[in-house]
C-alpha cells in the first residue's frame, strides 16, 4: 500500500490536532507543516505538537512552495480561517501543482456561495492540474447539512427540513467559550455579529448545501442572531459570567422557495445548556425524526472529518467539490 | 434538461410502486415495464398501476431484449427477488447494452459476498459497456448500514458499531405480516429460516457493507434467528394470531475481527411492537448515539431509495457499485 503524503497548512490549535490525528493513520505519511509564524518555521511538527513520534522529523515551512520543493504532498489539510476568498488564494498555488486540499474553512463548504468568481477560477485550475478541493467539518460539513441530506435518500417527497443543534459550551474549550461571547455585554455581542466578528461561521453555507442537494433555489434567505443572556451568574474554568451578560449565541437561518419556507436551522451554543443534541426533522413522505443524543462534539470531530475525507476526495473527479459530490462519509 | 429514460423490471407490488413514483418525477421518462407474467405482458403500465397518466401509453414487455429493441432505457429499476445469482443473470444482458441498473435485490448490496465470480463477471461487463449496477433499499441499503457508516465520518476512532431496528408489523401491509410468520408455529418458523425460506434477507450483506467501509475483515460472522412469540392473542386486519404462535422475528448478526466483536445488529419485526425505531450506537471517539423515532418505514421508502439513487449512480464510474462508492444519499 502506497501511503498518502499529507501536509498541514495552518498550525493553530486545530491544525495541530489535525496533523496529530493524521500521524496516527498508517495510510498517511506526514511530509510537512506550513505556517507564517516565524516562531514555528524551521521547527519540527513533533516539537509543536508535543508529540507523536512520527512527527519528530517532520519540518515546518514558511510557504507551500518551500515545502513542495522538498517534500511534495498529495493532500494539504488546510485549517486557516473561515473566509472563502482568503482560503482560495492560499489554495490556488497548491492546486496548480496538482495537490489536493481538504479544508476546515467554513465558507468553502459551498465555495461559489461567497466567492463565485474565485471558485470558478479554482475549479478550472483543479481540472487542468488534476487536483481536488473540499471544504468540510462537523458544522458546517455534517450535522446541519450532510446528515439531513443523507436522511432524505429514503424520502418519496420532502416538504421541509428542520435542523436543531444545542451545544453546552460549559463543557467546551476556552476558544469556543470566548467565541460565543461569554461575559460580554449583549449589545456589544449584537454589534460584533453585525460587523461579522462574532457568531457561527458557515451557517448560510449549510443552508446553501441543503438547497443545492434538494434542488431548491432560495429566493429568500434569512439569518437571525441573538445573544443568549445568562439567567444567573455562571462560572466556568475560563470565564466569570454575571447574570444579564452574554452566555452564548442563538443563531437561525431560513430558506424560502416561492414564498414557502423549505429549510429552518436553529443553533444554540451557550453555557450551562441542558440536553445538548443534534436533531433533524423532515416533513415529507415518510416523515423522519432523527436525534443525536449529546450531539456531535465540535473541534475534535472536525479534525476527524478532514482526515476521513482524504480517501474519498482523492477518488472523486478533479475540481472544486462539495460534500454531496463525494462518497458517503466514513471513518478511515 | 434531457430526461433519464427508465424501465421497470418486475411488476409485483414493489415494482408497481416503484414505477408509479418514477412517473411523478419530471426528470424521468418511463419507457416500459418487463414481467414474465403473461397476464401483464402487452398491457400498459397505466392499466397495471391503476394509474398515473404518464404511464397510460407505456408498454409491458416479456423480456428486456424486446423492450430494448423498442425503447432503450438509460436505467432499469430491478425489483425481482432477493438472490444475487438470479439477479445478476437477469442484469447481465442489460449491462451488455450499456444500460445501468438500480436493484432492490437484498443480496446485491454487496454482490461479491454471495456471488463473487458472477459479480466479477458483471463488473467486467459494466466496465466494458459503460454501465453501472447498484443494490439498495431501506434495509438493507440504509438504516443498518449506510446510516451508521455515514455517522463514522466524524469519528476519530471507531471501536464498535451497534444498530437496532424495531418494526411494528401491525401497522404494515399483509405481505410483511406474512413474511414474519404471523400465526405460524414457532418451530415451523425456525425450520423455514434454516431452509432459507423465512427471515430478513440481506442482513449479512449489511454487516459486510459496514465491514467493507470500516476496513474490517470479519474472520467470524454470526447470524441468529428466533421467532417472536405472541404473549397474548393478536388480531390484525390480515391475521389472527393466538397466544404462543409466532408473531414476528428477532434476527441478529455479529461480526468479529481477531476475536473482538466489532459490529452487532439487532432487528425485531413483530406484531404489536411498542416504540418502533432505528438506532445506531457507535463506541469510539466521539461516542455517537443516533435514534430515528418511529423508524424509517420499509417498502414505500425502499422504492424512494431506488429512484433517488438514479442520478448518483449515473454520475459514478462504471462497474458494480456499492452504496459506499457513490455520493451521499439525497432526495431527487
Instruction: Decide if A332 and B215 are in contact by the 8 Å CB cutoff.
Output: yes
How far, in Å, CA of A204 to CA of A153, rounded? 22
The residue in chain A having the minimum alpha-carbon distance to the alpha carbon of residue B150 is A329
The mean pLDDT of A129-136, rounded to a whole number, is 98
CA B116-B126-B144 angle, 5° bins? 55
- Mean pLDDT score of chain B: 96
Q: How many residues does chain A have?
A: 332
Which stretches does DSSP call E strand in B104-231?
132-135, 157-168, 220-229
Given this model, what pLDDT does residue A297 score? 84
Question: What DSSP character marks residue B54?
Answer: G
The residue in chain B having the minimum alpha-carbon distance to the alpha carbon of residue A285 is B301
Residues in chain B within 8 Å Cβ distance of A292: 288-290
Alpha helices of chain A — where are they, by DSSP H? 13-23, 45-49, 64-70, 84-96, 111-114, 116-129, 146-151, 174-179, 186-194, 203-214, 299-315
Which of A148-152, A168-172, B268-272 shows the lowest mean pLDDT across its residues? A168-172
pLDDT for B1 beyond 80: no
Given this model, what pLDDT does residue B330 score? 98
The mean pLDDT of B222-250, rounded to a whole number, is 97
**pLDDT grade, residue B305 (50/70/90)?**
very high
Shortest distance between the Cα of A143 and any Cα of chain B, in A, equals 9
A50: left (phi over 0), alpha (psi -120 to 50) or beta: left
Given this model, what pLDDT does residue B52 score? 81
**pLDDT grade, residue B50 (50/70/90)?**
confident
* pLDDT, tens digit, 9 for 90 and up, residues A290-330: 999 999 987 789 999 999 999 999 999 999 999 999 999 99
**pLDDT grade, residue B87 (50/70/90)?**
very high
Given this model, what pLDDT does residue A300 score? 86
**pLDDT grade, residue A217 (50/70/90)?**
very high
| Chain B CB within 8 Å of residue A310 CB | no
How far, in Å, CA of B48 to CA of A41, rounded? 72
Task: Please name each of the domains of chain A with its CATH number.
Answer: 4-137+300-321 (3.40.50.720), 146-295 (3.30.360)
The side-by-side arrangement of strands in the sheet containing A28-34 is: A60-61, A28-34, A4-9, A75-78, A100-103, A132-135, A319-321
pLDDT for A51 beyond 80: no
The mean pLDDT of B245-261, rounded to a whole number, is 97
Question: What DSSP character marks residue B108?
Answer: G
pLDDT for B53 beyond 90: no
**pLDDT grade, residue B316 (50/70/90)?**
very high
Shortest distance between the Cα of A165 and any Cα of chain B, in A, equals 14
* pLDDT, tens digit, 9 for 90 and up, residues B140-169: 999 999 999 999 999 999 999 999 999 999
The mean pLDDT of A241-256, rounded to a whole number, is 98
Closest CB to A214 among B214, B292, B331: B331
**pLDDT grade, residue B271 (50/70/90)?**
very high
- Mean pLDDT score of chain A: 96
If contacts are CB pairs under 8 Å, which of residues 57-86 in chain B contact chain A? none
Determine how β-strand B100-103 pairs with β-strand B246-257. Answer: unpaired
Q: Where is A162: in which H helix or E strand?
A: strand A157-168
If contacts are CB pairs under 8 Å, which of residues 121-160 in chain B contact chain A? 138, 142, 146-147, 149-158
Given this model, what pLDDT does residue A186 score? 98
Given this model, what pLDDT does residue B155 score? 98
Residues 6 or more apart whose CB falls under 8 angstroms from that of B234 comprise: B170, B241, B247, B271, B272
If contacts are CB pairs under 8 Å, which of residues 13-42 in chain A contact chain B? 21
Per the CB < 8 A criterion, the answer to whether B61 and B32 are in contact is: yes
Residue with cell 442489460: B94
pLDDT for B30 beyond 90: yes
Residues in chain A within 8 Å Cβ distance of B213: 328, 330-331
Based on its alpha-carbon atoms, the radius of gyration of chain B, rounded to whole angstroms, reads: 20
Number of Cβ within 10 Å of residue A243's Cβ equals 11
* pLDDT, tens digit, 9 for 90 and up, residues B95-123: 999 999 999 999 999 999 999 999 999 99
How far, in Å, CA of B289 to CA of A90, rounded? 37
The answer to ipTM > 0.90 is: yes
Shortest distance between the Cα of A311 and any Cα of chain B, in A, equals 11
* pLDDT, tens digit, 9 for 90 and up, residues A82-123: 999 999 999 999 999 999 999 999 999 999 999 999 999 999
Selected for mutation to probe chain A from B280, B299, B328, B329 (highest A CB count within 10 Å) is B328
* Helix B13-23 vs helix B299-315: crossing angle, to nearest 10: 60
Amino acid at each position: 500500500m502506497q501511503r498518502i503524503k499529507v501536509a498541514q497548512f495552518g498550525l493553530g490549535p486545530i491544525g495541530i490536532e489535525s496533523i496529530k490525528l493524521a500521524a496516527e493513520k498508517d495510510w498517511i505519511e506526514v511530509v510537512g507543516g506550513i505556517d507564517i509564524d516565524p516562531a514555528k518555521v524551521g521547527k519540527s511538527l513533533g516539537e509543536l505538537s508535543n508529540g507523536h513520534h512520527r512527527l519528530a522529523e517532520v519540518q515546518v515551512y514558511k510557504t507551500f512552495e518551500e515545502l513542495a520543493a522538498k517534500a511534495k504532498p498529495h493532500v494539504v489539510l488546510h485549517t486557516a480561517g473561515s473566509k472563502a476568498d482568503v482560503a482560495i488564494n492560499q489554495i490556488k498555488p497548491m492546486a496548480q501543482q496538482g495537490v489536493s486540499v481538504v479544508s476546515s474553512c467554513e465558507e468553502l463548504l459551498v465555495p461559489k456561495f461567497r466567492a463565485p468568481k474565485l471558485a470558478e477560477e479554482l475549479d478550472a485550475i483543479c481540472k487542468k492540474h488534476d487536483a481536488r478541493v473540499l471544504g468540510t467539518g462537523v458544522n458546517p460539513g455534517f450535522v446541519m447539512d450532510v446528515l439531513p441530506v443523507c436522511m432524505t435518500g429514503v424520502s418519496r417527497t420532502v416538504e421541509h427540513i428542520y435542523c436543531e443543534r444545542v451545544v453546552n459550551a460549559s463543557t467546551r474549550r476556552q476558544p469556543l467559550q470566548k467565541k460565543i461571547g461569554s461575559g460580554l455585554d449583549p449589545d456589544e455581542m449584537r454589534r460584533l455579529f453585525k460587523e461579522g466578528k462574532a457568531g457561527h461561521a458557515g451557517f448560510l453555507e449549510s443552508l446553501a448545501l441543503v438547497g443545492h442537494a434538494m434542488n431548491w433555489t432560495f429566493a429568500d434567505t434569512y439569518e437571525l442572531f441573538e445573544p443568549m443572556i445568562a439567567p444567573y451568574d455562571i462560572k466556568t474554568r475560563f470565564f466569570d459570567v454575571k447574570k444579564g451578560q452574554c452566555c452564548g449565541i442563538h443563531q437561525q437561518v431560513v430558506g424560502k422557495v416561492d414564498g414557502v419556507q423549505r429549510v429552518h436551522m436553529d443553533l444554540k451554543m451557550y453555557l450551562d445548556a441542558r440536553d445538548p443534541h443534534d436533531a433533524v426533522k423532515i416533513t415529507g413522505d415518510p416523515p423522519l425524526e432523527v436525534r443525536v443524543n449529546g450531539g456531535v462534539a465540535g473541534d475534535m470531530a472536525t479534525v476527524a472529518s478532514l482526515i476521513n475525507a482524504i480517501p474519498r476526495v482523492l477518488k472523486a473527479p478533479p475540481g472544486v467539490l462539495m460534500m454531496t459530490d463525494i462518497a458517503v462519509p466514513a471513518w478511515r
